[in-house]
Amino acid sequence: MKKFMNAADTMVAESVEGFVRAHEAVVMFGSQRKCVRRRELTPGKVAVISGGGAGHEPMHIGFVGRGMLDAACIGHIFTSPTPSQIISAIDETDTGAGCLLIVKNYDGDVMNFEMAMEMVADRHKIEMVVVSDDVETARSGEDRGRRGVAGTLVIEKIIGAAAEQGMSLAQLKALGDRLNGKVRSMGVALSGVTVPQTERATFALGPEEMELGVGIHGEAGHSREPFCTSDVIVEKLCTTIAADIAIPSGAKALLFVNGLGSTPPAELYIAYNAARNFMEQRDIRVERSLVGTYVTSLDMQGLSVTLALLTDEEIALWDQPVATAALQWGSSV
């Protein structure tokens, strides 16, 4: 295994330190380096906090900044942050209006964020939105429900904008829950993930194979199929997504094609073109688009497609200025 690192056990700490130093105009470490937080907080605004294991960069630390997250807590690779980290983020960013926690639907993440909520309930107003956009988990019939994957970015951006506009904690919670019902994602991979601690790939594929329905922790999908053209692959993803969500005629949508770590931009745009054609052929109006590598699974060669059905008000929130390391528009960092 060859990676640009010094040692597996220091990789996350060194990476996060490099991130903070590279974007010090926007972010800073929280107390005892338990979280990464906005350098400038807005008094009286609901704090929006997220987090998860490392290995998904730029999510979540790359989304900390004006118009999105107030703090992110990072665990070891593919491992939830601890309740202590989450409590530190809450204590540092709550300026009086409470905190909304945005959590991907994985057992460890949900358990630790819920534990942190209980431990600070006497001194903070807290609500939580659990993101569960992954179509694949529902297909496989797992009891725990859908995983939270790339659609988390969409929900964090819209909620972050609403919080910036002064929306209350209860209103943000309701908005997040509504959005979660209208966002669906599915991924495909041409290779597994090489985890530094084990130096092994999470799954191996032959030269003419692909894995449909992969997760962002290197999980294998629901089927291993013969490799085919990009148009056919994307049609498989989009067909599954469209079958899983009620789409009214003339629906307005955000279409997001996300790289999982090692997929070149040119290939992501080819995939976006196919996904856009698929949606337009079904009278889905793609009002906004996002293409790039934002929610990764370390070095996985793969991509995911996310469809978010949005109202005009939600599209307007998406358009609001954002100034983070990974997302920037409408303002400067």
Q: Tens digit of pLDDT for each residue in 15-28?
A: 999 999 999 999 99
The pLDDT tens digits for 47-59 are 999 999 999 999 9
Q: Is residue 107 over pLDDT 50? A: yes
Query: Does the annotation count 56 as an active-site position?
Result: yes
Pick the closest to residue 56 from 221, 192, 217 (CA basis). 217
Active-site residue identified among 23, 56, 76, 124: 56
278 and 191 belong to one structural domain? yes
Mean pLDDT of the chain: 94
56 and 137 belong to one structural domain? yes
Q: How confident is the model at residue 332 (pLDDT cuts 50, 70, 90)?
A: very low
Collapsed DSSP state (helix, strand, coil) of residue 7: coil
Active-site residue identified among 60, 124, 217, 222: 217
202 and 126 belong to one structural domain? no
67 and 152 belong to one structural domain? yes
Averaged pLDDT for residues 289-309 = 97
Q: How confident is the model at residue 34 (pLDDT cuts 50, 70, 90)?
A: very high
- DSSP output for 191-202: S--EETTTTEES
198 and 324 belong to one structural domain? no
The enclosing domain of 33 has a CATH number of 3.40.50.10440
- Give the structural domain span for 285: 183-309
Say if residue 121 is exposed, middle or buried (CB neighbours under 10 Å; 0-12, 13-18, 19+). Answer: exposed
Domain membership of residue 136 (yes or no) is yes
Contact 221, 189 (CB under 8 A): yes
153 and 229 belong to one structural domain? no
Overall number of domains in the chain: 2
249 and 136 belong to one structural domain? no
176 and 196 belong to one structural domain? no
Domain membership of residue 297 (yes or no) is yes
Domain membership of residue 93 (yes or no) is yes
Query: Does the annotation count 217 as an active-site position?
Result: yes
